[in-house]
Amino acid sequence: MIKYTLVLVFSFISLSANPYKNLDDAIKLNVMVNYFVNDELKTLVPKVPIKEELQDDGATLDPVKYEYYFNYIQRLKAIHESRAEEQENIDEKFEGKIAFYNGKLKTLKRFYQKKENLEPIIANSINKAFKVVYGNPKFDALITNNKKTIGSIIADNIYDVSQFKPKKIQMVLDEKIEKSFLTKYRNIKPKIQFEYKNKTLYFKDILFTFNGKEYVANFVDKTSWNVKLNIKINDDIFRLIKIEEKK
């Protein structure tokens, strides 16, 4: 579902006549990171409680044949009192559910207001945003030079939002796997890892798996890319439910 939503969100950006096409990449990344952060937070919020409905007990309010008027009035009174009591029980039960729900929301809000708790969600969202704005990261033109494997990290465009400028990378591999790696690296799916501090996003390194083992590649120029992020949690996500005052 997210994939199709993103296609709709960014389809207009790919149009050459659209003014949004020339937006700075930092703005596009901010939009998408915020989108994914809030989208993930929504999945952590408990379901809104549903109020039960008063069930029809089958009692008729119409006079029964040969029923005395006094008996009819007494029966009606008993039915109304019973239903009023049941409705009051439903209302009280629902108020309890709302109080419990609101309590959970308050706890979640306090939890994710702490930087260390929100950072894993931000990190996950950054990688998703990168793929939308630039595409899937991949290695390119890797060669061996002075006992190091060097080359570039590029991105296969998906939504035609922005073009990623290739970045020079390097890694040190064991000689036993180096030759095999250089013939198979195009099938590897590397993951760019970012460092997020002081509301700024930096390239950290690149994590990848080869032959069941994890390796890290480093950027040659670590100062070549940084983006300011402004993460804002939507107010609606942790909005409390108000209990209607009884008249």
Average pLDDT by stretches of 10, the chain with 247 residues: 52 49 87 96 95 73 67 77 85 94 96 94 95 95 94 93 94 93 96 91 95 96 84 94 75
Contacts of 97 (CB under 8 A, 6+ apart): 49
**Residue 206 · residue 218 · CB < 8 Å:** yes
* One-letter identity of residue 237: I
Instruction: Collapse the DSSP code of 193 into the 3-class scheme (helix H, G, I; strand E, B; otherwise coil) and give the result.
Output: strand
pLDDT for res 15:
45
pLDDT for res 20:
53
pLDDT for res 141:
97
pLDDT for res 71:
73
* 101-105, long-range: CB < 8 A, 24+ apart: 101/46, 101/48, 101/49, 101/241, 102/240, 102/241, 104/46, 105/45, 105/46, 105/238, 105/239, 105/240
**Residue 231 · residue 197 · CB < 8 Å:** no
The whole model's pTM is what? 0.80
pLDDT for res 82:
80
**Residue 168 · residue 221 · CB < 8 Å:** yes
Structure tokens at 153: 């990290």
Count of Cβ atoms closer than 10 Å to residue 142 Cβ: 21
How far does Cα 239 stand from its chain's mean position? 17
Residue at token pair 């390239």: 203
**Residue 153 · residue 131 · CB < 8 Å:** no
Dihedral over Cα of 165, 170, 171, 173: its sign: positive
Structure tokens at 13: 């950006």
